[in-house]
């Protein structure tokens, strides 16, 4: 059993943004030399999240729009007294900070239309960290 961990740095350019990171995660898997196990993709942030789904221009707008409609930024949240980003904390808390994906024969077991994405909820940020940890053999 081996473990391998790498911290990826990602820059975001908009308040809310969806960035595909599948290629960077696959690069870490290659570096690790691990072929079978589990891959955790995790963000140590309170206002960003990792999602796994289709990366297509209209649906990535829809992910952001769903959050805007369902967790309005101007709903008078208590935390907004501090730094005006309660909606981003709530969305991050609901969606969770990471995902676990099985690794088999050197390949992530993603479906045809599944990509790994960082969902920025309170950007832009110069540095977002994505932790990729692989455990296996």
Question: Is it true that the peptide bond before 124 is cis, omega within 30 degrees of 0?
Answer: yes
Q: Shortest distance, CB of residue 37 to Zn ion, whole angstroms? A: 35
Binding mask 30-69 for Zn ion (x = CB under 5 A): ----------------------------------------
* Residue among 83, 96, 102, 106 that touches Zn ion (CB under 5 A): 83
* Residue among 24, 85, 92, 133 that touches Zn ion (CB under 5 A): 85
DSSP notation for 105-124: TTEE---TT-EEEEEESS--
12 binds Zn ion (CB under 5 A): no
Q: Shortest distance, CB of residue 94 to Zn ion, whole angstroms? A: 15
Burial 94-130 (b: 16+ CB within 10 A, else e): ebebbbebebeeeebeeeeebbbbbbbbbbebeebeb
Q: Shortest distance, CB of residue 83 to Zn ion, whole angstroms? A: 4
Q: Shortest distance, CB of residue 19 to Zn ion, whole angstroms? A: 21
């Amino acid at each position: 059993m081996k473990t391998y961990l790498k911290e990826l740095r990602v820059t975001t350019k908009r308040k809310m943004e969806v960035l595909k990171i599948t290629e960077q995660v696959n690069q870490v898997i290659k570096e690790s030399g691990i072929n079978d196990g589990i891959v955790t993709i995790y963000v140590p942030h309170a206002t960003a999240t990792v999602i796994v789904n289709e990366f297509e221009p209209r649906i990535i707008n829809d992910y952001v729009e769903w959050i805007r409609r369902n967790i309005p930024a101007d709903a008078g949240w208590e935390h907004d007294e501090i730094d005006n980003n309660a909606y981003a904390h709530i969305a991050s808390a609901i969606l969770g900070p990471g995902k676990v994906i099985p690794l088999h024969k050197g390949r992530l077991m993603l479906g045809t239309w599944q990509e790994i994405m960082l969902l920025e909820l309170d950007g832009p940020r110069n540095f977002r960290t994505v932790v990729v940890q692989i455990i296996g053999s």
